[in-house]
């Protein structure tokens, strides 16, 4: 099991110690150790059912672990309720009050915390400016676009000045174009707010583009915790390689001409088509237009399918035999 290496000499704001979460006979999280730095944009990534949302709920106080401890700012908050933690959450469905204006939605939480009206009004104006909704305070949620509703939800969560902002797939309800725009807005908000963001997503591209570090989970276990660059170029195992971006995973014996365990990973962009012999030969079985060019699927005689970019010097046709090659520096041996 790949756990996070210990972080020393860092300002740690969230620390999870030997977390285990069980639902009857089902283990949702299994012996998770994790440390998140102050001011970091940290993402929990993995397929459905991997435990990423459960982990976010544990940090927020919406779940109690079966075993283990949760620390925020050095304090044990394992049994502390959500409202007493220096944490706030943006939910998937935004959960705005339809009978309240934008300003009312933001102000409500501040008044529940006992903020004086004048102080709350000043903070409402500040966060509306921060999320680009100055002048929208008197509108109701149903009068807003999806992106504006999301900004309102972000403003409401940022209002109480939490130390940690939890984001539960915050852009899953948006269409693709708006989702791309809001990714940039979220990155800007993180920089300007200066607090720790912890996001759950199943979108690999979103995680790669926004995160300082990513934790990849599978079956309730951490498989690797690293920067986007390290996860993409130096995955710890074949699951991480295959889940994060597209990867060619080639059985080692196919290239070594002998018994071996594990696989060789090569990213499609590193594979070139040779006019003569290469490391692997196969037949072009699929050709997909990507806008910047074509991606090919080349099928080896064993049935192994490899992906590469079509060369600029010659359009290739389905059924054509091609030879593939790559530099030694582009390949990585991985355990299966």
Question: Euclidean distance between the first and final Cα of the chain, in Å?
Answer: 12
Helix (H) or strand (E) holding 45: strand 41-45
Token digits of residue 70: 């949760």
Lowest average pLDDT, out of 11-15, 48-52, 87-91, 251-255, goes to 251-255
pLDDT in tens, 85-114: 999 999 888 889 999 999 999 999 999 999
- pLDDT bracket for residue 3 (50, 70, 90): very low
SS3 content of the chain, % helix, strand, coil (to 5): 30, 30, 40
| Residues near 83 by beta carbon (within 8 Å), at least 6 away in sequence | none
pLDDT (mean) for 69-75: 96
Q: Exposure string (b/e) for 105-138, b if CB count within 10 Å is 16 or more?
A: bbbebbeeeebeeeebbebbeebbebbbbeebbe
Lowest average pLDDT, out of 171-175, 256-260, 280-284, 316-320, goes to 256-260
CA distance linking residue 319 with residue 139, whole number of Å: 59
pLDDT of residue 114: 94
Neighbours of 29 (CB within 10 A): 26
SS3 324: strand
pLDDT of residue 258: 58
Sign of the alpha-carbon dihedral angle for 229, 234, 237, 241: positive
CA distance linking residue 56 with residue 42, whole number of Å: 11
Q: What is the pTM of this model?
A: 0.89
pLDDT of residue 326: 95
Given phi > 0 = left and psi -120 to 50 = alpha, else beta, which region is 179?
alpha
Sign of the alpha-carbon dihedral angle for 29, 265, 285, 293: positive
Lowest average pLDDT, out of 24-28, 194-198, 258-262, 324-328, goes to 258-262
Q: Are 188 and 220 in contact (CB under 8 A)?
A: no
SS3 260: coil
Q: Are 41 and 197 in contact (CB under 8 A)?
A: yes
Instruction: Flag whether pLDDT at 190 surpasses 60.
Output: yes
Instruction: For the sheet with 87-90, list strands across it.
Output: 87-90, 164-168, 196-201, 41-45, 213-218, 221-226
Instruction: Flag whether pLDDT at 6 surpasses 60.
Output: no
CA distance linking residue 189 with residue 165, whole number of Å: 11
Q: Are 225 and 213 in contact (CB under 8 A)?
A: yes
Instruction: Provide the CB-side half-sphere exposure for 29 (13 A, CA).
Output: 29
Q: Are 98 and 87 in contact (CB under 8 A)?
A: no
Instruction: Flag whether pLDDT at 68 surpasses 80.
Output: yes
pLDDT of residue 7: 52
């Amino acid at each position: 099991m790949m756990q996070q290496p210990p972080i020393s000499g860092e300002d740690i704001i969230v620390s999870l110690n030997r977390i285990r979460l069980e639902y009857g006979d089902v283990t949702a999280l299994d012996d998770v150790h994790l440390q998140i730095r102050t001011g970091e944009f940290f993402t929990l990534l993995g397929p459905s059912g991997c435990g990423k949302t459960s982990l976010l709920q544990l940090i927020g106080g919406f779940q109690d672990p079966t075993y283990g401890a949760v620390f925020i700012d050095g304090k044990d908050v394992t049994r502390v309720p959500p409202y007493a933690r220096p944490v706030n959450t943006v939910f998937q469905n935004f959960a705005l009050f339809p009978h309240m204006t934008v300003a009312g939605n933001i102000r409500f939480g501040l008044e529940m915390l006992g903020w004086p009206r004048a102080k709350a009004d000043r903070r409402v104006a500040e966060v509306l400016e921060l999320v680009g909704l100055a002048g929208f305070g008197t509108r109701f949620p149903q009068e807003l676009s999806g992106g504006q509703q999301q900004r309102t939800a972000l403003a409401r969560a940022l209002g109480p000045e939490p130390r940690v902002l939890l984001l539960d797939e915050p852009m899953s309800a948006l269409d693709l174009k708006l989702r791309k725009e809001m990714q940039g807005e979220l990155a800007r908000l993180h920089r300007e707010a200066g607090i720790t963001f912890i996001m759950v997503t199943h979108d690999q591209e979103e995680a790669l583009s926004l995160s300082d570090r990513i934790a990849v989970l599978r079956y309730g276990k951490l498989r690797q915790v690293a920067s986007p660059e390290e996860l993409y170029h130096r995955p710890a195992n074949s699951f991480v390689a295959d889940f994060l971006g597209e990867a060619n995973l080639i059985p080692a014996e196919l290239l070594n001409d002998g018994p071996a365990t594990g696989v060789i990973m090569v990213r499609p962009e590193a594979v070139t088509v040779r006019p003569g012999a290469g490391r692997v030969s196969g037949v072009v079985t699929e050709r997909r237009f990507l806008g910047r060019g074509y991606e090919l699927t080349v099928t080896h005689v064993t049935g192994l399918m490899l992906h590469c970019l079509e060369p600029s010097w010659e359009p290739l046709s389905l059924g054509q035999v091609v030879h593939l090659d790559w530099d030694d520096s582009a390949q990585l041996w991985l355990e299966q």
